[in-house]
Amino acid sequence: MNQTLWDFFITRQDLLLELILEHVGIVLLAVAIAIVIGVTLGLLSSYYSALASIILPFTQIMMTVPSIALLALFIPIFGTGFLNGLIGLVIYSLLPIVRNTYIGIKEIDKGIIEAAQGMGMSERRILLKVKIPLALPVILAGVRTATVMITGIAAIVSAVGAGGLGELIFRGIARTYRDMIIAGTILISLLGIAADYGLKAAERSLTKQQS
């Protein structure tokens, strides 16, 4: 690593720490909201196929809208700032979570569900004791995809004033301050890698527990 970049990390560590916390904060909050909405939608879709045929394509389409355009479109509704960025990130996290919840439930062996019914378990009990635990590794994989993806996308929400490490990139571009851009990029990548590893480990320990 060259000297000036290193100096940047050292001298600006307070700013960097603040931006990291902001970045992680908005990502975690977005993922948490997306889990609540996404798992609910995924579960509902697994019960009502009519709903599935609307929700799954819809989340798919939302994914194809470029993130910068989506955020710009939200400005008239949510203004600029944190809320706009947060909502954008939630929408991007939804697809993998909804889809994986749906697939995770649908892929459970029919015989297992039928055995549960035959034992006299109610639908609510089957959902809590059988379906969700069995779909959990797949749902968690969706959460991981979402988290890693929006850790990157969160760099762009800085453009609408939602804060985070993207600030470094945008300010760096404005001032043609190369080290600032590189520092922002490195930190965002590191966060993404950390999220990927952490959640993969969680998935693995869960699958191990179950087999």
Partner 1 sequence: MIKIKYENVVKQFPGSDHLAVDNLNMEVHEGEICILVGPSGCGKTTSMKMTNRIFEHTSGHIYIDGVDNRDINPIELRLGIGYVIQEIGLFPHMTIADNVATVLVEKKWPKNKIHQRVEEMLNLVGLDPEIYSKRRPSGLSGGQRQRVGVARALASDPPVMLMDEPFGAVDPITRARLQNEFLRLQEQMKKTIIFVTHDIDEAIKMGDRIAVMRYGQLVQYATPDDLLSMPANDFVSSLVGGNRSIKRLNLIKVEDIDLYRPPEVAEGDSKTKVVEAVAGDKLGVALVVDDRGKLVGTVTNTDLKRKGEYVKDIYAPAHDLVGPKSTLRDTLSIMLGYGEGYALAVDQEGKPRGAVSVDDIFSAVKDNE
| Site residues, partner 1 (CB under 8 A) | 109-112, 114-122, 125, 130, 133-134, 209-211
| Joined tokens for residue 177 | 């301050």
> Cα(49)–Cα(193) distance, rounded to whole angstroms?
36
Question: Residue 129 or residue 175: which is nearer to partner 1 going by CB?
Answer: 129
Q: Are 165 and 23 in contact (CB under 8 A)?
A: yes
CB of 121 vs partner 1, minimal distance in Å? 6
Question: Residue 65 or residue 121: which is nearer to partner 1 going by CB?
Answer: 121
CB of 120 vs partner 1, minimal distance in Å? 4
Question: Residue 110 or residue 174: which is nearer to partner 1 going by CB?
Answer: 110
CB of 99 vs partner 1, minimal distance in Å? 22
Question: Residue 36 or residue 112: which is nearer to partner 1 going by CB?
Answer: 112
> Cα(166)–Cα(150) distance, rounded to whole angstroms?
12
Question: Residue 76 or residue 111: which is nearer to partner 1 going by CB?
Answer: 111
* Largest Cα span, the chain: 69
CB of 153 vs partner 1, minimal distance in Å? 33
CB of 46 vs partner 1, minimal distance in Å? 18
| Joined tokens for residue 114 | 């039928």
Kindly provide the b/e burial profile for residues 114-149, where b requires at least 16 CB atoms within 10 angstroms of the residue's own CB.
eebeeeebeeeebbeebbbebbbbbbbbbbbbbbbb
Question: Residue 37 or residue 108: which is nearer to partner 1 going by CB?
Answer: 108
Q: Are 141 and 133 in contact (CB under 8 A)?
A: no
> Cα(94)–Cα(41) distance, rounded to whole angstroms?
9
CB of 117 vs partner 1, minimal distance in Å? 6
| Joined tokens for residue 200 | 């993969």
| Joined tokens for residue 19 | 């931006």
